[in-house]
């Protein structure tokens, strides 16, 4: 029989990996809760009709679909099987699909439960999502998202709060980051100003490459995407933009002085940056005109987080959207949200070796098993240690000492307790510190005092 395996693009998580992942999730969870966000969970499976059409045509293909139970054949005749393309057949065979992200299920949740919800509704959600993407390094078919959103409030205080959350989370991780902020309205203003409102994505993409390919190539690219020379000329101030956040915003303000939308975007950015200046973030925040994520759904502020000490893409991102629940027939609900990239944060923490020691330490105390009588005695001592919150094991079999010690090393036990006949008679424990190798004879109370947190 060949060794069993798991589907490509999926992962098993070992105890050590789980300890690290829990540290990440718990840190994010704690900070979300500190800001009043409350957790929800939605089912792994949604109605396929809830998911289809929400992620574009490509997205529909990447949905994992669940074959109907029972007689799924009934819905499709042999003729239809022959004639219809898979895209038409799949929804006939499958009523359900695995969630592709947490946003659409959240929108569905808000609409379905609107009578129970008090607005503004601040929710966080940490659950896996599934995508039938081609697996590659760092891209999985099952991965966790860690989202927080506030819906039902237009206030920019929400944006401020989300940036504070980002700052606090990465400060707790010990990861130095740059928080980048932009506003969809500014990008709209620029595209309108140069006379190409429909080219907003081409323009932003080209500007984004300025550092990498230089001004001449950017001009060439813009020209290739259909902009005339006059329009490209009008972008000159942006090519030359520099200075502090304030200076950059002033440059844009001058340029967009006739664009109501553009000025609104600048005002929003300024407000958020001012509030954040007063709250003394631990990390830098930078107004970045080239930041252009999610332009098909974000309508206001956009943000993204880059690690300073590791070359890796965005590790967190988010923004404001104006119409989360419109797709489910409940228009006019604005929201703003953020999503931490747990897998990338995992990699960054690994590369920078930033996991706190206590995060990944497992068992604190292992009792060696010298035989039935000794083990029975140790069982009682172990209970006392556990009552003092010490993670404790009694080795279950009375096998050779060497094997038990190698187990102690494998599980990373901090202390090993040796209790033989002598120790039982004297009411003591021979306690070995596995880090230093030191060994001492102690009572159970002294043992607890030594190890307990």
Whats the size of the chain, residue-wise?
453
Contact status: 346 vs a second copy (CB under 8 A): no
Q: How far is the CB of 30 from a second copy (least distance, A)?
A: 9
Q: Total binding residues for a second copy by CB under 8 A?
A: 108
Instruction: Write the DSSP assignment of 301-361 as a string of letters.
Output: EEEEEEESSS--S-SEEEEEES-SSGGGT-----EEEEEE-HHHHHHHHHHTT---HHHH-
Q: What angle is formed at CA 435 by the lines to CA 432 and CA 441, rounded to 5 degrees?
A: 20
- By C-beta, is 39 or 443 nearer to a second copy? 39
Contact status: 79 vs a second copy (CB under 8 A): yes
Q: Which of 20, 24, 65, 348 binds a second copy (CB under 8 A)?
A: 65
Q: In whole angstroms, what is the distance from residue 62 CA to residue 374 CA? A: 58
Contact status: 161 vs a second copy (CB under 8 A): yes
- By C-beta, is 28 or 307 nearer to a second copy? 28
Q: Which of 57, 58, 71, 254 binds a second copy (CB under 8 A)?
A: 71
Closest CA to 451 of 375, 392, 409, 393: 392
The structure tokens 């919150």 sit at: 389
- Chain centroid to Cα 114, Å, comes to 26
Q: In whole angstroms, what is the distance from residue 183 CA to residue 174 CA? A: 28
- By C-beta, is 259 or 325 nearer to a second copy? 325
- By C-beta, is 42 or 205 nearer to a second copy? 42
Q: How far is the CB of 300 from a second copy (least distance, A)?
A: 14
Q: How far is the CB of 89 from a second copy (least distance, A)?
A: 7
Residues 282-341 that bind a second copy (CB under 8 A): 328-329
Q: Which of 53, 56, 72, 426 binds a second copy (CB under 8 A)?
A: 72
Residues 401-420 that bind a second copy (CB under 8 A): 406-407, 410-411
Q: How far is the CB of 214 from a second copy (least distance, A)?
A: 41
Exposed / middle / buried, residue 162 (Cβ in 10 Å: 0-12, 13-18, 19+): buried
Q: Which of 57, 86, 136, 216 binds a second copy (CB under 8 A)?
A: 86
Residues 362-391 that bind a second copy (CB under 8 A): 362-363, 366, 369, 375-376, 379-380, 383, 386, 389-391
Q: Which of 139, 155, 244, 422 binds a second copy (CB under 8 A)?
A: 155
Helix, strand or coil for residue 207? helix
Q: In whole angstroms, what is the distance from residue 125 CA to residue 111 CA? A: 17
Q: In whole angstroms, what is the distance from residue 88 CA to residue 92 CA? A: 7
Q: Which of 52, 153, 312, 359 binds a second copy (CB under 8 A)?
A: 153
Q: Which of 27, 145, 158, 316 binds a second copy (CB under 8 A)?
A: 158
Q: In whole angstroms, what is the distance from residue 85 CA to residue 52 CA? A: 16
Residues 38-57 that bind a second copy (CB under 8 A): 38-47, 50
Segment contacting a second copy by CB under 8 A, of 215-223, 299-307, 343-351, 360-368: 360-368
Q: In whole angstroms, what is the distance from residue 105 CA to residue 290 CA? A: 30
Q: Which of 56, 138, 139, 157 binds a second copy (CB under 8 A)?
A: 157
Q: How far is the CB of 20 from a second copy (least distance, A)?
A: 11
Residues 89-148 that bind a second copy (CB under 8 A): 89-90, 93-96, 98, 108-109, 111-113, 116, 118, 120, 122-123, 128, 130, 132, 141-142
Q: How far is the CB of 416 from a second copy (least distance, A)?
A: 13
Q: What angle is formed at CA 21 by the lines to CA 19 and CA 27, rounded to 5 degrees?
A: 100
Contacts of 342 (CB under 8 A, 6+ apart): 21, 24, 25, 28, 143, 144, 145, 146
The structure tokens 């760092």 sit at: 138
Contact status: 61 vs a second copy (CB under 8 A): yes
Residues 244-283 that bind a second copy (CB under 8 A): 275, 278-279
Q: How far is the CB of 291 from a second copy (least distance, A)?
A: 23
391: left (phi over 0), alpha (psi -120 to 50) or beta: beta
Contacts of 278 (CB under 8 A, 6+ apart): none
Q: How many CB atoms lie within 10 A of CB 349?
A: 21
Segment contacting a second copy by CB under 8 A, of 59-67, 194-202, 216-224, 290-298: 59-67
């Amino acid at each position: 029989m060949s060794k069993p395996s798991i589907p490509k693009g999926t992962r098993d998580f070992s105890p050590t990996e789980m300890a690290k992942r829990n540290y990440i999730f718990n840190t994010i969870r704690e900070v979300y809760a500190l800001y009043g966000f409350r957790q929800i969970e939605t089912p792994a499976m949604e109605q396929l009709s809830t998911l289809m059409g929400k992620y574009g045509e490509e997205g529909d293909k990447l949905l994992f679909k669940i074959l109907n139970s029972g007689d799924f054949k009934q819905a499709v005749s042999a003729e239809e099987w022959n004639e219809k393309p898979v895209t038409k057949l799949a929804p006939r065979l499958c009523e359900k699909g695995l969630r592709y992200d947490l946003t659409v299920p959240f929108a569905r949740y808000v609409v379905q439960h609107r009578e129970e919800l008090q607005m503004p509704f601040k929710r966080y959600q940490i659950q896996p999502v599934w995508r039938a993407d081609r697996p590659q390094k760092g891209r999985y078919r099952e991965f966790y998202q860690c989202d927080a959103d506030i819906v039902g409030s237009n206030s920019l205080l929400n944006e401020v709060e989300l940036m504070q959350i980002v700052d606090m989370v990465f400060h707790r991780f010990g990861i130095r980051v740059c928080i980048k902020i932009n506003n969809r309205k500014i990008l709209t203003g620029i595209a309108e100003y140069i006379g190409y409102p429909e080219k907003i994505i081409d323009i932003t993409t080209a500007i984004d490459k300025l550092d990498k390919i230089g001004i001449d190539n950017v001009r060439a690219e813009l020209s290739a995407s259909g902009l005339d020379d006059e329009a490209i000329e009008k972008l000159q101030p942006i090519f030359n933009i520099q200075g502090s956040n304030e200076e950059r915003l002033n440059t844009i303000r001058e340029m967009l002085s006739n664009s109501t939308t553009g000025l609104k975007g600048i005002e929003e950015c300024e407000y958020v940056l001012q509030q954040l200046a007063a709250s003394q973030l631990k990390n830098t925040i930078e107004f970045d005109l080239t930041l252009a994520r999610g332009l098909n759904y974000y309508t206001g502020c956009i943000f993204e987080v880059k690690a300073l000490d590791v070359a890796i893409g965005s590790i967190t991102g988010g923004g404001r959207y104006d119409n989360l629940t419109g797709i489910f027939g409940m228009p006019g609900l604005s929201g703003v949200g953020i999503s931490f990239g747990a897998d990338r944060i995992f990699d960054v923490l690994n590369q920078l070796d930033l996991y706190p020691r206590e995060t990944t330490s497992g068992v604190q105390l292992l009792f060696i098993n010298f035989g039935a009588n000794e083990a029975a005695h140790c069982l009682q001592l172990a209970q006392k240690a556990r009552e003092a919150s010490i993670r404790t094991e009694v080795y279950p079999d009375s096998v050779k000492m060497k094997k038990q010690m190698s187990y102690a090393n494998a599980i990373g036990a901090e202390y090993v307790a040796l209790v033989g006949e002598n120790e039982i008679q004297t009411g003591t424990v021979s306690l070995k510190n596995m880090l230093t190798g030191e060994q001492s004879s102690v009572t159970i109370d002294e043992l607890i005092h030594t190890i307990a947190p």
